[in-house]
Structure 1
Amino acid sequence: MPGPSDQVKALLRAHASGDEDLFYSVALQLAAQSARRGHSKVALELRDLIDKSRSKQVPRGQPTPIGSPRGELSELLAITYPDEGLSQMVLSDEISATLGRVIHEQRQSDQLLRHGFVPAHRLLLTGSPGTGKSLTAAALAHELSLPLMTIRLDGVMSRFLGESASKLRLIFDEVARRRAVYLFDEFDALGSDRGATNDIGEARRILNSFLLFLDEAPSESVLIAATNHMSLLDPALFRRFDALVRYALPGRAQAVSVIRRRLASMDSSQINWNAVASETHDLSHADLVKAAERAAKDAILAGGSTIDTPLLLSALAARRKPSID
């Protein structure tokens, strides 16, 4: 992770090359680091200078335009521009409140930094597969008008000594250089307990490097780690995150909302929703969406647009078969 001297050099290089986006990105990092170290006056002065010198802003509602990752980074990061926000998701009140606070703090980051506080920018999402963790990362990117950078952990993990930590450094250098939402999906592959009996020295070095990089990550970017197996994570990770968001399988009311939303373009007036609700247990958000899609397709292929209760119940039952992925 670049230190202050590296950032000063980066400022000069950006100025010399005329890269205005990079120049302001590095300047914002310096201001954030000053705030984290308690130098609120310096952070405030830097922010004021940045605000005064900035000639244009990216309009809200549009993703920050950045080029696709190149070179080795192209094997480590996948970039997308999500077009659906939190309003398209069915979330519990608790999760909605937590994510809403993160968005509010990010949007008001200037105000927080002026007083020496850093906005929430490191989130740990945990829960069963298909409960909405990856969708949350995409929705946050949309809400903040940022691109979503998904880390390819299969590209990060290497059997060669020291290579994985070097790849992590490349990723976190990009975190510092380009503002975005960065998603580490299936994070337990990277953040497993260092005290595990089957652990090896290289895995410990990777996790130690990640912890160091995470501590130094600038607040302009949002870092999200998602895992299906929280029990496998090293305890040292938890205090590094600003918020822990726990996802659960939807209750009956939530499940019906998920299905209704997906079938909005179909005629669902023939559905007995109480009967459907009683058959949604043990199914994830993703399962419910797939079941709704299957029922809709069956109706369309049969020449209509009406979905009845037996059709939807059959689709729900099919999602419980082991042969269905």
Structure 2
Amino acid sequence: MARADLLLKLVRASLSGDSNLIKKVVQAVIAEERVKQHNVIANQLEEALNTFPASLAPSPSRSVTPVLYDKIDSFLYSISPNKPLGNLVLNSLVVNAIREFVLEFARADVLRSYSLEPRNRVLLVGEPGNGKTSIAEVIATELMLPMFVIRYDGIIGSYLGETASRLEKMFNFIKTQQCVLFFDEFDAIGKERGDEHETGEIKRVVSSLLLQIDKLPSYVIVVAATNHSELLDKAVWRRFQIKLNIDKPNKDLIKNWLDRFESNFGHKLPAAKASIVNKLHGLSFAEIEEFGLSIRRRFVLSMPAPNLREIVNFSLEEVEDKKGFNNA
């Protein structure tokens, strides 16, 4: 059965005649039922929603509170997640943590029958290019939830109190959604309040942010990512039940990636795999992915008679140059 808070929102929307809010709440109920594998009722709700009569749209004379605040799209942008866990090459600790998290949320009704709530806040720490954003998308994909990404250019304002006000509007909208809310570069907004170089405004923003996160319902999953964990406020750390370090791939993971790359590419790379692994070691996953894409592009552009050995050797030379640039 749908959560009581969603049913309450649905009743309030019906009484106010707000058809937009009715649709949003029903969509949230459908998402929750699908998470619980209640596909029959989810399909029936979806069919009913598709036949939602236009005559129920609110008339200009009726008092309606809009669910979509002014310029909410300037605070958030949505993506349609399509990245299963099996598509990523991750170490076993991270994979197991994601699987356990997904299981908790998928079986939230079982936990609630024992007065327990699933964890809904994940903090990802690590250097750029190693899969933090992809992990957020994986969680949304595995749970069949929409994903919203914070737009700091729209959230952070230059006037006193403006950022906190925008955060409140954004969170009020998010509370109507069953979704994954993703904060990239979380240190941009969750900075240490004890930093003497920061203004009082930033400190107020962090306090407002923590308060809003505390008030989020458990059906909203918050995933935050940072490259600079040392900049985060100490109270921010306590808000996240799961904290994962996302490191650069070790040699075993690089070998796994190469095996998968050859399988998808349909060709064996004409070089000793151990040698390729050694040359790729030290790069981020994003840089390794770019190495693979470079091989595929050159292979296609040199058809009908591509020399794969030359292509791989040239791509590996680029890798060496990149490593030298990174170390400079």
**TM-score interval for Structure 1 and Structure 2 normalised by the shorter chain:** 0.7 to 0.9
Report the AA paired with residue 302 of structure 1. S
- The number of equivalent residue pairs is 289
Report the AA paired with residue 119 of structure 1. P
Unaligned runs of 5+ residues in structure 1 are 30-46, 60-64
* Cα gap change, 1:276 to 1:174, in 2 (>3 Å): same
Q: CA deviation at 1:311?
A: 3.7
SS at 2:244's partner residue?
strand
Q: CA deviation at 1:321?
A: 5.7
Q: Which residue of 2 aligns with 1:81?
A: 80
The separation in 2 between residues aligned to 1:147 and 1:260, in whole angstroms, is 31
The separation in 2 between residues aligned to 1:268 and 1:198, in whole angstroms, is 54
Correspondence list, 1:77-226, <5 A: 77-226=76-225
SS at 2:245's partner residue?
strand
Q: Is the 8 A contact 1:259 1:289 kept in 2?
A: no
Q: Which range moved further: 120-129 or 264-273? A: 264-273
Q: CA deviation at 1:101?
A: 0.8
The separation in 1 between residues aligned to 2:306 and 2:102, in whole angstroms, is 38
The one-character-per-residue Cα deviations of 1:223-267 (angstroms, maximum 9, x if unpaired) are: 111000001101111111110011111001212322443452241
Q: Is the 8 A contact 2:126 2:226 kept in 1?
A: yes
**Are 1:57 and 2:58 an aligned pair?**
no
Q: CA deviation at 1:21?
A: 4.9
Q: Is the 8 A contact 2:167 2:209 kept in 1?
A: yes
Per the normalisation by structure 2, the TM-score is: 0.79
* Cα gap change, 1:172 to 1:58, in 2 (>3 Å): farther
Q: Is the 8 A contact 2:83 2:134 kept in 1?
A: no
**Are 1:307 and 2:308 an aligned pair?**
yes
Q: Which residue of 2 aligns with 1:242?
A: 241
Q: CA deviation at 1:122?
A: 0.5
Q: Which residue of 2 aligns with 1:295?
A: 295
Match of 2:319 among 310, 316, 323: 316
Q: Which residue of 1 aligns with 2:55?
A: none
The one-character-per-residue Cα deviations of 1:88-121 (angstroms, maximum 9, x if unpaired) are: 0001110001111110000001111122111011
SS at 1:282's partner residue?
coil
SS at 1:320's partner residue?
helix
* Cα gap change, 1:198 to 1:13, in 2 (>3 Å): same
Q: CA deviation at 1:11?
A: 4.4
Report the AA paired with residue 140 of structure 1. I
Q: CA deviation at 1:322?
A: 3.9
The one-character-per-residue Cα deviations of 1:167-202 (angstroms, maximum 9, x if unpaired) are: 111221122101111100010000110011211111
Q: CA deviation at 1:220?
A: 0.7
Per the normalisation by structure 1, the TM-score is: 0.80
The separation in 2 between residues aligned to 1:245 and 1:306, in whole angstroms, is 42
The separation in 2 between residues aligned to 1:21 and 1:108, in whole angstroms, is 23
Q: Is the 8 A contact 2:83 2:138 kept in 1?
A: yes
SS at 1:96's partner residue?
helix
Correspondence list, 1:11-30, <5 A: 11-16=10-15, 17=17, 19=22, 21-22=24-25
SS at 1:123's partner residue?
strand
SS at 1:159's partner residue?
coil
SS at 1:300's partner residue?
helix
Bigger radius of gyration: 2
The one-character-per-residue Cα deviations of 1:30-77 (angstroms, maximum 9, x if unpaired) are: xxxxxxxxxxxxxxxxx9xxx9xx983159xxxxx9xx9674110011
Report the AA paired with residue 274 of structure 1. A
Q: Is the 8 A contact 1:268 1:306 kept in 2?
A: no
Q: CA deviation at 1:143?
A: 0.5
SS at 2:102's partner residue?
helix
Q: CA deviation at 1:25?
A: 5.1
Report the AA paired with residue 177 of structure 1. T
Report the AA paired with residue 286 of structure 1. A
Q: Which residue of 2 aligns with 1:285?
A: 285
Report the AA paired with residue 236 of structure 1. A
Q: Which residue of 2 aligns with 1:32?
A: none
Q: Is the 8 A contact 2:249 2:285 kept in 1?
A: yes
SS at 1:161's partner residue?
coil
* Cα gap change, 1:318 to 1:293, in 2 (>3 Å): farther
SS at 2:308's partner residue?
strand
Q: CA deviation at 1:7?
A: 8.7
SS at 2:275's partner residue?
helix
* Cα gap change, 1:138 to 1:318, in 2 (>3 Å): farther
Q: CA deviation at 1:24?
A: 8.5
Percentage of pairs with the same residue: 27
